[in-house]
Amino acid sequence: YRPSRRSSSQQKNLEGYVGFANLPNQVYRKSVKRGFEFTLMVVGESGLGKSTLINSLFLTDLYSPEYPGPSHRIKKTVQVEQSKVLVKEGGVQLLLTIVDTPGFGDAVDNSNCWQPVIDYIDNKFEDYLNAESRVNRRQMPDNRVQCCLYFIAPSGHGLKPLDIEFMKRLHEKVNIIPLIAKADTMTPEECQQFKRQIMREIQEHKIKIYEFPETDDEEEMKFIRKIKDRLPLAVVGSNTIIEVNGKRVRGRQYPWGVAEVENSEHCDFTILRNMLIRTHMQDLKDVTNNVHYENYRSRKLAAVTYNGVDNNKNKGQLTKSPLAQMEEERRDHVTKMKKMEQEMEQVFEMKVKEKLLKLRDSEAELQRRHEQMKKNLEAQHRELEEKRRQHEDERANWEAQQRIVEQQKLDLSRTLEKNKKKKIF
Amino acid sequence: TPYCGHCPSLDKNIRPLNLAGHVGFDSLPDQLVNKSICQGFCFNILCIGETGIGKSTLMDTLFNTNFENFESSHFEPQVKLRAQTYDLQESNVRLRLTVVNTVGFGDQMNKQESYQPVVDYIDRQFESYLQEELKIKRSLHNYHDSRVHACLYFISPSGHSLKSLDLVTMKKLDSKVNIIPVIAKADTISKSELHKFKIKIMSELVSNGVQIYQFPIDDETVAKVNTSMNGHLPFAVVGSTEEVMLGTKMVKARQYPWGIVQVENESHCDFMKLREMLICVNMEDLREQTHTRHYELYRRCKLEEMGFKDTDPECKPVSLQETYEAKRQEFLLELQRREDEMRQMFVQRVKEKEAELKEAERELQSRFEQLKRLHADEKATLEDKKKALEDDQVSFSKRRAAAQLLQGQSLTANGKKDKDRKK
């Protein structure tokens, strides 16, 4: 319970009176004004004396003819019922809720008879979680089950399968205090053996029953170790007051004597009462709040956040709130999208380059062919020109020749004519 | 301690039971107290005031110790908050005290720059706690609570009224932190002036709607002393770590030529009242108010900002899981939408580019066609010319052949004629 030393702090000595030594008194005063709450669950087959024990523990008639205990209510199925009472002592108010489970273990087939109990505990956790999670939070009544007294029948032979099943299923949801009921049906030796057997089986099945917290106080630790040796506590309860040696005590009258409830040589009732009410009630509440409830809550929220995917492998993720988790996921997604964008951009650029290259090649090819054809045509043109020139030259020459011949012919014919004419004369 | 408001023990449906003897649950407050002593306490106090007004001295005096004090100048560019944590012990009670000092407060031109860093600091501590509270795996009972439990606001002993900076700052802070205004260096004000000053300050606070911390009067055990003290607000304090010999004792005091101001003399100043109220009587209440009022307000606003509600549009209650689930759905859809958008945009670009390139291809093609036509035309012209030349050549050869024929004929005719002549 030491607060984490996250920020570095310096030790300083006071040079005189300050007054914060009064803080505990302030806390005391405020807690009394606020009042206290406690929810105690009692589980066990009928006839084990649960109601009687409650009445003995709280020295009252929680269960009376008016408000009958679970055994007097005939139930066919296991119910979970609660009784709320307000008790006051020494100026301290306690709102006590006793949750009992009539019908538990009484059926022929008791498989699943723990389910209503589990459901009840979970429902209370859920109520608290919802109240705690509201935007507008108001006074939150705390109905979470802070302690479960589990009654073991005094068979003397060890735990029944039902006992083991029940405790295994509930030890991580609630503080379990196993009790041996009707301890006055066993001798101290039988009781001792029975206790050892039970503790062995509890260890064997790795059942985590409620453990007393370690303290620095040596005296206290000695005391706690003594109690640990006597677990599970064997109790006797009684609604009747009997006179023994001039004293009025709660007890059970037998022909051979009186089994006194508050006699620590007769049973462990006093230890139970002292531990449950006088010394460890607050711790039971704290463990419920800091351990059992937090387990429930983190499981519930992790399921919601990860939609059932088992992300518990990456334990680190659970140390963030779901919102911070989503923020991180969003950032990751942005990075992922950037990468995707880059990749797509690259592919795009590459494809465009390819296409452009192809286009350029086509253009070059086209240009080349055009040049080629142009050259070709020009060559043909020149050839034709040459041929034409040759032809023109040839013709011109021939025509010139012809003209000469014609001229000659003409001259000749003229001369002949002339001669002819001369001859005639 | 878990968030637990008042227990509904006032519920009328709950039957009271009488106890036939001593059960022993009256030890519950002791059990609670023992646990908290084991765990240790924590208290965070913020001092706001101008440079040199005596914040550090007052802290040293209040807690009877010598905290690390830094000299600061008036030329800080912006207000800084300096937090230091100390582990103190008195009797069997361990206290982790964090003292936060403002450095450079009031030295800025713009008042907003003075108070904003303070508001931000307070909000940061709330945010830090809220983040822890919202985590899936959290450890609240181990968490070092850094939220500011009390804010001592140091008022300059002008004797006249509050400065506008004071009013503006306190107004900004009154819904975030328990404000306890104190008049600093009270030994510079005369008794009558002080009385008027206090009245003026309180009335200014009221008329400006500033909610300062009231010592609680709902608990009968302390109602009387708290009510009386509420009437002395704001406390006029003097701080000093110097000791002066008074009679046979050494007392904390300030020595002037005209007398000795004793810090712990109630007729000299309200230091004792401050210490009693702040530390001895109401420290726990200050912590509680911070948690149940100021923090809850911050949390509520923050969650509403983030879109959390307690009921859905049909006014049915919504659980946290449902809200988270809905948010997660929304979130995943948004991520998907963004991805789709990006892809869409890309598809668009590709389409456009493809069209561009196709257009370029087409252009090239038409150019090609054009050139082809050009060539065809030129070729045709060339062919025509060739044909013309051929025709000319043919007709020429014909002419020539004909002429030759004629000449041959005439030659033979002329030969005959000549022959005839010669005869």
Strand pairing partners for A400? Answer: none
Who contacts B263 (Cβ-Cβ below 8 Å, separation ≥6)?
B61, B238, B239, B240, B251, B252, B253, B254, B269, B271
Q: Do A359 and B141 touch (CB under 8 A)?
A: no
Query: What is the reported pLDDT for A312?
Result: 42
Q: Do B279 and A134 touch (CB under 8 A)?
A: no
Mean pLDDT on B63-84:
80
Point out the residue among A1, A297, A384 whose CB comes nearest to the CB of B386. A384
Q: How sure is the predictor about B211, in pLDDT bands with cuts at 50, 70 and 90?
A: very high
Point out the residue among B9, B13, B300 whose CB comes nearest to the CB of A136. B300
Mean pLDDT on A381-389:
90
pLDDT in tens, A393-412: 988 888 888 888 888 878 88
Highest mean pLDDT among A306-310, B243-247, B321-325: B243-247
Q: How sure is the predictor about A373, in pLDDT bands with cuts at 50, 70 and 90?
A: confident
**Does residue A6 surpass a pLDDT of 90?**
no
Q: Do B368 and A366 touch (CB under 8 A)?
A: yes
Q: Do A11 and B21 touch (CB under 8 A)?
A: no
Q: Do B361 and A4 touch (CB under 8 A)?
A: no
Torsion angle of alpha carbons A386, A389, A390, A395, nearest 10°?
A: 160
Point out the residue among B17, B324, B350 whose CB comes nearest to the CB of A301. B324
Q: How sure is the predictor about A318, in pLDDT bands with cuts at 50, 70 and 90?
A: low
Q: Do A31 and B15 touch (CB under 8 A)?
A: no
Query: What is the reported pLDDT for A407?
Result: 85
Q: How sure is the predictor about B328, in pLDDT bands with cuts at 50, 70 and 90?
A: confident
**Does residue B69 surpass a pLDDT of 80?**
no
Q: CA of B38: how far to CAs of A27, A122, A214, in Å?
A: 13, 31, 12
Asked if the peptide bond before residue B257 counts as cis, ω within 30 degrees of 0, the response is no
Q: B32, B36, B99, B374: which to substitute to probe chain A, counting the most A Cβ within 10 Å?
A: B32
Q: B38, B320, B330, B398: which to substitute to probe chain A, counting the most A Cβ within 10 Å?
A: B320
Gap between the Cα atoms of B214 and B201, Å rounded: 15
Closest CA to B59 of B319, B239, B327: B239
Q: Do A60 and B135 touch (CB under 8 A)?
A: no
Q: Six-digit token pair at B295?
A: 């923090």
Who contacts A261 (Cβ-Cβ below 8 Å, separation ≥6)?
A56, A236, A237, A238, A249, A250, A251, A252, A267, A269
Mean pLDDT on A82-111:
88
Q: Do B357 and A355 touch (CB under 8 A)?
A: yes
Query: What is the reported pLDDT for A311?
Result: 45
Cβ neighbours of B95 in A, within 8 Å: 20, 23
Gap between the Cα atoms of B3 and A133, Å rounded: 11
DSSP track, A349-380: HHHHHHHHHHHHHHHHHHHHHHHHHHHHHHHH
Kind of pairing between the strands at B179-183 and B235-236: parallel
Cβ neighbours of B37 in A, within 8 Å: 24
Hey, how many other C-beta atoms are within 10 angstroms of the C-beta on A68? Answer: 12
∠B245-B246-B250 over CA atoms, to 5°?
A: 50
Point out the residue among A36, A330, A388 whose CB comes nearest to the CB of B389. A388
The size of the A-B interface in CB pairs under 8 A is 366
**Does residue A295 surpass a pLDDT of 70?**
yes
Cβ neighbours of A85 in B, within 8 Å: 14-17
Chain A contact present for B285, CB below 8 A = yes
Chain A contact present for B146, CB below 8 A = yes
Cβ neighbours of A356 in B, within 8 Å: 357
Point out the residue among A20, A320, A398 whose CB comes nearest to the CB of B90. A20
Chain A contact present for B373, CB below 8 A = no
At A142, is the secondary structure helix, strand, or coil? coil
Cβ–Cβ under 8 Å, residues B284 and A119? no
Chain A contact present for B98, CB below 8 A = yes
Q: B6, B12, B28, B345: which to substitute to probe chain A, counting the most A Cβ within 10 Å?
A: B28
Query: What is the reported pLDDT for A7?
Result: 55
Mean pLDDT on A64-87:
74
- Between the two ends of chain B, the Cα-to-Cα distance in Å is 167
**Does residue B18 surpass a pLDDT of 90?**
no
Phi-psi region of A122 (alpha: psi -120 to 50; beta: other; left: phi over 0): alpha
Mean pLDDT on B141-156:
93
Residue for token pair 């004909």 = B402
Cβ neighbours of A215 in B, within 8 Å: 38
Gap between the Cα atoms of A378 and B330, Å rounded: 74
Point out the residue among A9, A19, A135 whose CB comes nearest to the CB of B279. A19
∠B19-A146-A286 over CA atoms, to 5°?
A: 110
Q: Is the pLDDT higher at A60 or at A121? A: A121
Closest CA to A40 of A50, A28, A30: A50
Least confident of A99-103, A294-298, B110-114: B110-114
pLDDT in tens, A134-167: 888 877 889 999 999 999 999 888 899 999 999 9
Q: Do A13 and B65 touch (CB under 8 A)?
A: yes
Query: What is the reported pLDDT for A71?
Result: 62
Mean pLDDT on A357-386:
88
Gap between the Cα atoms of B217 and B269, Å rounded: 24
**Does residue B3 surpass a pLDDT of 60?**
no
Query: What is the reported pLDDT for A309?
Result: 45
Query: What is the reported pLDDT for B423?
Result: 53
Q: Six-digit token pair at B297?
A: 């307000």
**Does residue B161 surpass a pLDDT of 50?**
yes
Hey, how many other C-beta atoms are within 10 angstroms of the C-beta on B387? Answer: 10
Q: Do A278 and B403 touch (CB under 8 A)?
A: no
Cβ neighbours of B144 in A, within 8 Å: 3-7
pLDDT in tens, B43-67: 999 999 998 899 999 999 999 988 8
In percent, the amount of chain A with pLDDT more than 70 equals 90
Cβ neighbours of B86 in A, within 8 Å: 9-12
Query: What is the reported pLDDT for B417?
Result: 62
Cβ neighbours of A274 in B, within 8 Å: 24
pLDDT in tens, A212-225: 888 778 888 888 88
Q: B18, B31, B139: which to substitute to probe chain A, counting the most A Cβ within 10 Å?
A: B31
Q: Do B25 and A278 touch (CB under 8 A)?
A: yes
Kind of pairing between the strands at B80-90 and B93-103: antiparallel
CB burial of residue B59 (10 Å; 0-12, 13-18, 19+): buried
Query: What is the reported pLDDT for A322?
Result: 66
Q: Do B85 and A384 touch (CB under 8 A)?
A: no
How close, in Å, is residue B163 to chain A by CA atoms?
Answer: 32
Chain A contact present for B398, CB below 8 A = no
Query: What is the reported pLDDT for B418?
Result: 62
Q: A1, A5, A26, A328: which to substitute to probe chain B, counting the most B Cβ within 10 Å?
A: A26
Chain A contact present for B407, CB below 8 A = yes
Chain A contact present for B422, CB below 8 A = no
Least confident of B167-171, B242-246, B284-288: B242-246
At A174, is the secondary structure helix, strand, or coil? coil
Q: Do A341 and B396 touch (CB under 8 A)?
A: no
Mean pLDDT on A195-221:
90
In percent, the amount of chain A with pLDDT more than 90 equals 38
Mean pLDDT on B329-345:
85
Query: What is the reported pLDDT for B419?
Result: 62
Chain A contact present for B209, CB below 8 A = no
Q: A12, A60, A87: which to substitute to probe chain B, counting the most B Cβ within 10 Å?
A: A12
Smallest CA–CA distance from B61 into chain A, residue = A18
Cβ–Cβ under 8 Å, residues B47 and B55? yes
Highest mean pLDDT among A144-148, B262-266, B304-308, B333-337: A144-148
Mean pLDDT on A107-125:
89
Closest CA to A152 of A117, A120, A194, A124: A194
Mean pLDDT on A126-131:
89
Asked if the peptide bond before residue A24 counts as cis, ω within 30 degrees of 0, the response is no
Query: What is the reported pLDDT for A313?
Result: 41
Mean pLDDT on A37-44:
94
Cβ neighbours of A402 in B, within 8 Å: 403
Query: What is the reported pLDDT for B316?
Result: 60
Task: Write a three-state SS string for chain B.
Answer: CCCCCCCCCCCCCCEECCCCCCCCHHHHHHHHHHHHHHHCEEEEEEEECCCCCCHHHHHHHHCCCCCCCCCCCCCCCCCEEEEEEEEEEECCEEEEEEEEEEECCCCCCCHHHHHHHHHHHHHHHHHHHHHHHHCCCCCHHHCCCCCCCEEEEEECCCCCCCCHHHHHHHHHHCCCCCEEEEECCHHHCCHHHHHHHHHHHHHHHHHCCCCCCCCCCCCHHHHHHHHHHHCCCCEECCCCCCEEEECCEEEEEEEECCEEEECCCCCCCCHHHHHHHHHHHCHHHHHHHHHHHHHHHHHHHHHHHCCCCCECCCCCECCHHHHHHHHHHHHHHHHHHHHHHHHHHHHHHHHHHHHHHHHHHHHHHHHHHHHHHHHHHHHHHHHHHHHHHHHHHHHHHHHHHHHHHHHHHHHHHHHHHHHHHHC
Cβ–Cβ under 8 Å, residues B40 and B142? no
CB burial of residue A234 (10 Å; 0-12, 13-18, 19+): buried
Q: How sure is the predictor about B251, in pLDDT bands with cuts at 50, 70 and 90?
A: confident
The model carries a pTM of 0.76
Cβ neighbours of B22 in A, within 8 Å: 59, 89
Q: How sure is the predictor about A70, in pLDDT bands with cuts at 50, 70 and 90?
A: low
Query: What is the reported pLDDT for A3?
Result: 43
Q: Do A283 and B31 touch (CB under 8 A)?
A: yes
Query: What is the reported pLDDT for A417?
Result: 80
Cβ–Cβ under 8 Å, residues B241 and B271? no
Mean pLDDT of chain A: 86
**Does residue B311 surpass a pLDDT of 60?**
yes
Least confident of A138-152, A376-390, A408-422, B28-42: A408-422
Cβ–Cβ under 8 Å, residues B183 and B158? no
Closest CA to B254 of B158, B185, B195: B185
**Does residue B409 surpass a pLDDT of 60?**
yes
Smallest CA–CA distance from B129 into chain A, residue = A321
